[in-house]
Amino acid sequence: MLYLVSAIEIIAALLIGLASLQCAVTVAGLFFRRSPSTAEKEDVRLQFGLWLSLAIEFELAADILRTTIAPSWEEIGKLAAIVVLRTVLNYFLQTEIRRAAQQRTTTAG
C-alpha cells in the first residue's frame, strides 16, 4: 500500500512539475511578444490552475490511502484537516476557473 501512496504522490509531483514547465515556456513566449492579449495571459493562468487542481486531487487520494493503512485518532484528525484545506483550496480554484471561463464566453459571444 505504501508503494501505491508513493506512486500517487509522484504522479502529483510530476503533474505540478510538468504544468509549471509548460506554463513557464508559454509565459516566456508571451513575454517576448510585443503585446500579448489579456485573454492569452488568462489562458495560461487557467490552464495552470486546472493542472494544479488535478494534482491536489492526487495528493488527497494519497493522503486518504496513507491513513487507511494504520489509522490512529491523531492521523484521522490530521487527514480531516488536510481534506478540509485541500477541498477549500480546490473549491476556490475551480470557482475562479469557472468564473474566468464564463467571462470569456460572455465577452466572446
Average pLDDT over residues 57-75: 85
Percentage helix, strand, coil for the chain under 3-state DSSP, each rounded to 5? 90, 0, 10
For the chain, counts of helices (H) and of strands (E)? 3, 0
pLDDT confidence of residue 76:
85
Which pLDDT band, with edges at 50, 70 and 90, does 18 fall under?
Answer: very high
The overall average pLDDT reported for the chain is 88
Contact yes or no for 62/8 (Cβ under 8 A): yes
Q: Which class for 35: exposed (0-12), middle (13-18), buried (19 or more C-beta within 10 A)?
A: exposed
Overall size of the chain counted in residues:
109
pLDDT confidence of residue 59:
92
